[in-house]
């Protein structure tokens, strides 16, 4: 292992062997979406609208996130309801949009405007220790003028169970990027918020009005209570 800091002095050389990122954790994994690699590249990236298609990124398909106008493709793919991801059934490579974006619509004056969106993660728990604490590891590959609110099993409560507050100036969505400044939130989830059987986690990006306000997830992981005997 390396020390937290690697100091390079003028004229010196440092040989660094293979570095493996070991994502922080507090307890055993109950479920996970994505890969802890600090990008959103593993998630679903849609095709561009035909009239906006850039053939360069058809040839270089691994950079298809650079196609123009992908921020509006979310609304076109989910025209009526927001994304719903079911643990054990859905696949993050095909069912998790690469960016959490606002939904566009046309107001009474015919002007295009943008509204916040709420994603749902459905997951089953066979056993819940309601006297213990669970952990939600919430990692972002990018954020721009966004606020993520997290609620469990009740989307209507006024105060979210957790909020990031207003974060980010990365502008990765507008600049056709797939990563920005990395952020990791380790969130305490009281077992009393969870229930036996099906649970729903609501993820609301609450800042609307503009197309480029949004988030890119790196990974999301729910962990069970830690085993203090280890």
Determine contact, residues 33/85, Cβ cutoff 8 Å.
Answer: yes
Helix (H, G, I), strand (E, B) or coil at 85: strand
Beta bridge partners of 152: 201
Is pLDDT at 229 greater than 50 in this prediction?
no
Asked if 142 and 116 count as a contact pair (C-beta separation under 8 A), the reply is: no
Tens of pLDDT, residues 144-169: 999 999 999 999 999 999 999 999 99
CA separation, residue 138 to residues 24, 45, 69, 134 (Å): 11, 20, 27, 13
Measured CA angle at 46 (ends 41, 49), to 5 deg: 140
Q: Dump the DSSP string for 182-202.
A: -EEEEEEEEGGG--SEEEEEE
User: Greater confidence, 196 or 18?
Assistant: 196
Query: pLDDT of 183-200, one tens digit each?
Result: 999 999 999 999 999 999
Give the whole-number percent of the chain exceeding pLDDT 90. Answer: 71
Domains in the chain, start-ordered, CATH in brackets? 41-223 (2.60.120)
The answer to whether residues 82 and 96 touch, using CB atoms and an 8 Å cutoff, is no
């Amino acid at each position: 292992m390396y020390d937290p800091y690697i100091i390079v002095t003028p004229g010196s050389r440092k040989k660094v062997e293979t570095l493996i990122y070991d994502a922080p954790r507090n307890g055993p994994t109950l479920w996970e979406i994505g890969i802890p690699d600090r990008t959103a590249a593993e998630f679903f990236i849609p095709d561009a609208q035909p009239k906006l298609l850039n053939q360069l990124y058809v040839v270089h398909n691994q950079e298809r996130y650079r196609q123009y106008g992908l921020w509006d493709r979310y609304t076109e793919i989910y025209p009526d309801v927001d994304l719903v991801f079911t643990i054990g059934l859905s696949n993050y490579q095909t069912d998790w949009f690469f960016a959490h974006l606002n939904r566009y619509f046309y107001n009474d004056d015919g002007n295009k405007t943008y509204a916040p969106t709420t994603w749902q993660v459905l997951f089953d728990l066979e056993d819940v220790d309601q006297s213990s604490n669970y952990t939600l590891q919430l990692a972002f590959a990018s954020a721009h003028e966004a606020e993520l609110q997290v609620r469990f099993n009740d989307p209507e409560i006024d105060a979210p169970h957790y909020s990031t507050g207003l974060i980010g100036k990365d502008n990765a969505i507008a600049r056709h990027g797939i990563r920005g400044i990395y952020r990791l939130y380790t969130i305490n989830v009281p077992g009393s918020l969870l229930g036996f059987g099906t649970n729903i986690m609501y993820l609301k990006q609450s800042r609307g009005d503009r197309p480029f306000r949004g988030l890119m997830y790196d990974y999301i992981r729910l962990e069970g209570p830690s085993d203090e005997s280890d």
